[in-house]
Amino acid sequence: MMNEEQKQELLIRYLDDRLNPDERAQVSELLRTDPGAREFLRSVAEQAVTFADGERTLLAGQTELHARKQAPLAPTSSVVRVDFKSWLRPLIAAAVIVLLGIVLFRQIPTTEKRFVSVNKVIGSSQVFGFNGEVENAPNARTLLGSGDTLESQSCDSWIEMTLDDGLQMTVAGQSELNILDSKKDHRRFNLQHGSMWITPSSRTQTAPVTVYTPTIEVESQDTQFDLQTSKNTTIVRVNKGTATVRQHMDGSLVQVPEGSQVIASLRRNTPLEVFAQPTPINYWACDLWKAPEVRYGTWLEPNGIERARLGADPLPWPMKDREPLMLYAAALSVLGTSEHPVLMKEGGMLLVRGRTEKTARVRFGFSTQKMRGVFSGKFEIDVQPGDLASAGETWEVKLPLANFHALDPRLRSSPAGLELKTVYALTIEEDAGLEINHVELIPAAETN
């Protein structure tokens, strides 16, 4: 007859997959007949997932920024496998740095009002300080306060931040965020352009936050929402809680409840209206000629073959101790081209048509978020020149989603089940005259 402690240890060993067949039978019998054992197992399960949840929000690192410069390009034809152990160590180191940062952050006098702690920086970014100082490569130890401007500059970049009350913010792609002020009970930001995700702390109540964009202001507390803005349109989607949105143009004010969205556009010139977020679709074709929202790049003249030509623009990636690395990028936002969220499913593929004036390897990528949830990272793949057409000729590549590798596998290792946010293509260090003519997401059933 086992005592309670022995029963609990047996269950812990079961969860460690270390039981022989006799002991497994013993566990089955115990769980079938002993409500106390089941209660313990359920409690262990709840503790494990809640602890992991908390850690997930705390985790940060800056492993990609330097690694990506030197990393060999990913092959086109095979799935890039993530070696858990190899990225785990730097990630742990990065997490330690972040935790140290948080400790230091908490020791800084509040008079400096540095209430935003950068947790993770991936890709090109810059900070323009309130005092005129420019930081070319902010990192996981960077602290920000009132008057600072943070720019995530490249289509493949993103920055994660935590406020001193635990609120999580992410800006991604080409985004410019001005930190306005932090009063005792209210924080204000201005998102000049780009995409932003706000997630309240899972552990404590956070102060109200107001985010201004060129068209609206959003006020919220303990609300999970995302917003995407350009100079004349803003889309706000509330995934948890409620946000209050006011349109600058006419002062119209709406409450946006969980599962709803609001679109403010200077072109529409109508009062704000709240809609339920539409159901997702899994096929998406981007009609470039209908001029969707370009996140980066320049429209080129039609050339007789292609009506829509989005050319890559140079994009300097500032480096701390060296000349900037030049990228040449073109990027499109999905949200502007589809009324429905676009859902990626297992077995799907991205089809891209385009050309380069010179032979070059091209990096394709996309950003994601959870359906009605938080930012979930970016995925990329490199295609070698041999897999593209000759210089000057149009190519069409079919890129299985499973072949893209996650820039941060901890956020999500596979894009299946995530919402597609932006799609981009770029060349590195060489202007190859890259242009994109067509982008399409093809679901599994149609790829066979």
The contact set with other proteins (CB under 8 A) reads 5, 8-9, 11-19, 24, 27-28, 31-32, 35, 38-56, 59, 84, 88, 92, 202-203, 240, 258-259, 276, 279-280, 343, 370-373, 412, 417
Instruction: Give min distance, CB of 301 to other proteins, in A.
Output: 40
Q: Give the residue with the Cβ less far from other proteins, 3 or 269.
A: 3
Which positions ≥6 away from 101 have C-beta within 8 Å?
Answer: 117, 119, 140, 141, 143
Question: Is the distance from CB of 166 to CB of 203 less than 8 angstroms?
Answer: yes
Instruction: Give min distance, CB of 42 to other proteins, in A.
Output: 6
Q: Give the residue with the Cβ less far from other proteins, 38 or 141.
A: 38
Closest by CA position to 351, among listed 422, 421, 440, 282: 440
Instruction: Give min distance, CB of 41 to other proteins, in A.
Output: 7
Q: Give the residue with the Cβ less far from other proteins, 189 or 404.
A: 404
Q: Give the residue with the Cβ less far from other proteins, 125 or 369.
A: 369
Q: Give the residue with the Cβ less far from other proteins, 55 or 112.
A: 55
- Within 10 A of 190 (CB to CB), how many other CB atoms are there? 16
Instruction: Give min distance, CB of 442 to other proteins, in A.
Output: 17
Angstrom distance (rounded) from CA 120 to CA 162: 10
Q: Give the residue with the Cβ less far from other proteins, 142 or 282.
A: 282
Q: Give the residue with the Cβ less far from other proteins, 266 or 371.
A: 371
Angstrom distance (rounded) from CA 123 to CA 121: 7
Q: Residue 444: how many CA atoms within 13 Å on its side-chain side? A: 8
Angstrom distance (rounded) from CA 231 to CA 294: 12
Instruction: Give min distance, CB of 3 to other proteins, in A.
Output: 12
Which positions ≥6 away from 91 have C-beta within 8 Å?
Answer: 59, 61, 63, 410
Which positions ≥6 away from 1 have C-beta within 8 Å?
Answer: none
Angstrom distance (rounded) from CA 43 to CA 207: 31
For residue 356, what is the enclosing H or E element? none
Instruction: Give min distance, CB of 172 to other proteins, in A.
Output: 19
**Angle at Cα 161 formed by Cα 158 and Cα 162, nearest 5°?**
160
Q: In Å, how far are 98, 114, 236, 266 from 229, measured between CA atoms?
A: 29, 25, 9, 12
Structure tokens at 371: 């359906």
Amino acid identity at 84? F
Q: Give the residue with the Cβ less far from other proteins, 27 or 144.
A: 27
Angstrom distance (rounded) from CA 116 to CA 171: 13
Q: Are strands 298-299 and 362-370 parallel, antiparallel or unpaired?
A: unpaired
Instruction: Give min distance, CB of 297 to other proteins, in A.
Output: 31
Q: Give the residue with the Cβ less far from other proteins, 332 or 343.
A: 343
Q: Give the residue with the Cβ less far from other proteins, 56 or 307.
A: 56
Q: Residue 152: how many CA atoms within 13 Å on its side-chain side? A: 27
Instruction: Give min distance, CB of 28 to other proteins, in A.
Output: 6
Q: Is 106 exposed, middle or buried (0-12, 13-18, 19+ CB in 10 A)?
A: exposed
Instruction: Give min distance, CB of 349 to other proteins, in A.
Output: 19
Residue 204 DSSP label: S
Q: Are strands 209-212 and 186-199 parallel, antiparallel or unpaired?
A: parallel
Instruction: Give min distance, CB of 120 to other proteins, in A.
Output: 16
Instruction: Give min distance, CB of 13 to other proteins, in A.
Output: 6
Q: Give the residue with the Cβ less far from other proteins, 31 or 389.
A: 31
